Amino acid sequence: MMTTKEPENKWTQLKTFVTEGSNRVKFYFILISVFLWFLSKLSKDGYTAVVEFPVKYVNISADKSFGRIPNDKIKVSINSPGFTILKYKLRSFSSLKIDLSKVEKKLDPRNSYWLTNSDLSLIDNQLDPEVEVRSISPDTVYFDFNKLVKKKVAVRLKLKEAFSKDLGIYGKPILKPDSVLVSGPESLISKIKFLETEPIELKGDKPSLKKQLDLVLPNGKGLSFSVEEVDVSLEFSKMTEASMSIPIEIVGLPEKYKLKLFPENVKLTYKVAIRDYEKVRASDFRIYTDCSDIESNSDKRYLTLKSSNYPDFIESIHFDPKRVEFILSAK
């Protein structure tokens, strides 16, 4: 029991000694003396310490941007009065500015570097007058740049499933603007082929629709867009499915041969707005087979069919069959 109480008794005795009578005054004088001694020491020169500073790179060429972010902090060994070091250690400071036009050394068009210890005055001039910069770490900061370019890309309307099988968009959607100027690093710009709108869901039975849609913009630091939304105008029409027989055109057949196809026509089906139904003609379509390599493929049994040349107001085009048998003979 005596062993556990002994530390408590000593603490009580010390507390009594400090707080009672003249001892309390003596203790305060000791504290003041220590504090004044500490201030006297800090006011003297000759202290060396390493302080970490944030940095900001300025005067980057207008046609470039950082591909990889370089060091945003450097460690600076300084010699100065103790008070100054204490201030740097305890306070937050605005970034030191690194002028690339003065320090940058080229490796190639995309890469360069800064030898931090080659001109200590660059940092020294931004610190207090009594501070002497001894060294900087790291000794080399590398810069990786991207070339900044501009590119015009088309806007595409993204549609959700149609609200009715018998109702469709009549004509082409009108987008204003129909293209966007994209600016940014060349490595990112080269990947952008087009921009899509946010998906639009077609609802209701109105004959037309006008709406403002946001663009779905790709992520990427340094990318900027001339617009971020477009106005969309749509017109709707009742649709019907129709079909017709189309003759197969033969192209590329050497003159010394004649060719018989089985069958000679295909059945073509399509969707068209009712208002345009009477405008459709067989001559609007082209179904053909290319026979330019038929001599070198004497064992071929079928010819593949291809399509081209159909009106803009036609949708969902299908034809059958996709390939045909044939008889090849000399003239």
The model's pLDDT over 115-166, given as tens digits with 9 standing for 90+, comes to 999 889 999 898 888 888 899 999 999 998 888 889 999 999 988 765 566 7
What's the pLDDT score for residue 36? 45
**Is residue 4 a part of any domain in this protein?**
no
| pLDDT per position as a tens digit, 14-67 | 555 555 555 555 545 455 544 444 444 545 556 788 888 999 999 888 788 887
Distance CA 304, CA 323 (A): 4
Here the CATH number for the domain that contains residue 71 is 2.170.120.30
The verdict on 66 and 79 lying in the same domain is yes
pTM for this model (two decimals): 0.53
In Å, the largest CA–CA distance within the chain is: 135
Q: Residue 289 class from Cβ within 10 Å (0-12 exposed, 13-18 middle, 19+ buried)?
A: buried
Domain end, chosen from 113, 146, 179, is at 146
Q: How many domains does the chain contain in total?
A: 4
8 A C-beta contact, residue 209 and residue 234: yes
**Is residue 253 a part of any domain in this protein?**
yes
Coil, helix or strand for 284?
helix
- The parent domain of residue 168 ranges over 150-237
What is the DSSP-derived secondary structure letter of residue 160?
Answer: -
Residue predicted with more confidence, 297 or 173: 173
For residue 185, list its beta bridge partners: 148
For residue 141, list its beta bridge partners: 114
Coil, helix or strand for 55?
strand
**Is residue 100 a part of any domain in this protein?**
yes
